[in-house]
Amino acid sequence: MRAVRPDVAEDAVQRLQPLAGLQGIEVERAPRPVSVYALALADWAPPEFTLELEVSKGTYVRAIADDLGQALGVGALTPNVAALSFGTTASIATTATRTDGGYVLRGQKTWISNGGLAEYYVVFATVEPGSRSRGITAFVVEKGDPGVTFGEPMRKMGQRAIVNAEMFLEDAELPEDRRLGDEGQGFYGLMRTFDRSRITLGASATGIARAAFEYALEYARTREQFGKPIAEHQAVAFRLADMATRVDAARLLVHRAARRIDAGESVPKEAAMAKLFASETAMWCTWAAVQTLGGWGYSREYPVEKWMRDAKLEEIEEGTSDIQRLIISRRLLS
């Protein structure tokens, strides 16, 4: 396996990897588009380090890290943010056919965050169709590579500030040095990436839940019905108590997973627990906020209905809640 250049690794690890660990917990305090920017960076880094990529001049990781200040300064998702193309499962259908000096990629990816905007993509394809995880290999694909095209932005229920699009690979020729690690190691790198990205998503989901709770709390303190603030009615007060408890529990689960991964531990179960509980907490707390605001919660005059739509994706992306329960149960019973 090729080694990482020490100067590139030291600089990039310090600047990008903390986004996926404990320091990345601050993502929950950021607006959702900003947290997704951080998630894209956190997702990009682990496959490169896990699979020990060495690219000429170390340009990929360094280019993304160097653009952090400018990109966040203009408050936009810029073309220099990297995206990941996971595919679906171990049965990835996108193929990578060996050629003299490289590979030809053929297939289609969907739900690519920043699809068509990002300059660089980590694409997972199989070099041995039918072999499931054994043939999965990771590649760096650039937006301008011949044979790489993108569909129109997808129309979604929520999180519309994030551009998602399909990616088409039609005889896309890549040189061999675009491969990350050895052939067949992509699935390993992908699973390690999920351990980090699920923690970051847990932080993001906790942020949505926290925003909904704080908004509902303030509204309940000032909105009066039957001669007193609705927060003084037990049904509303108990709902607020449940919201506060769930938000704190979600945060603690995310903190635990982040601490352990920062310490170098293997955390698939802890990451799944954090993502599962935080995402379902986001969905429940946004529902509770809509319920607390009543008719106004259903109106676009207030933000809670948007947060409710945004929260739904948290239960789906990076593995649904069912998948998280599967991971947890298998770890418990192994």
Largest CA distance in the chain: 80
Residue pLDDT, tens place only, 173-190: 999 989 988 899 888 888
Residue pLDDT, tens place only, 217-249: 999 999 999 999 999 999 999 999 999 999 999
Helix and strand element counts for the chain (H, E): 9, 10
Q: What percent of the chain has pLDDT over 70?
A: 73
Residue pLDDT, tens place only, 246-255: 999 999 999 9
Q: How wide is the angle at C-alpha 53 spanned by C-alphas 117 and 6, nearest 5°?
A: 115
Region(s) of the chain under CATH 2.40.110.10: 6-184
Is domain 188-333 classified as CATH 1.10.10.10? no
Over residues 122-143, mean pLDDT = 88
Model confidence at 76: pLDDT above 50: no
Residue pLDDT, tens place only, 256-314: 999 999 999 999 999 999 999 999 999 999 999 999 999 999 999 999 999 999 999 99
Distance, CA of 287 to CA of 60 (rounded, Å): 41
Region(s) of the chain under CATH 1.20.140.10: 188-333
Residue pLDDT, tens place only, 4-54: 344 444 444 444 444 444 444 444 444 454 444 445 444 444 554 444 444
Report which DSSP code applies to 145.
S
Residue pLDDT, tens place only, 104-113: 999 999 888 8
- Token pair 């011949």 is found at 146
Which residues are identified as catalytic? 318
Instruction: Please provide the CATH number assigned to the domain covering 6-184.
Output: 2.40.110.10
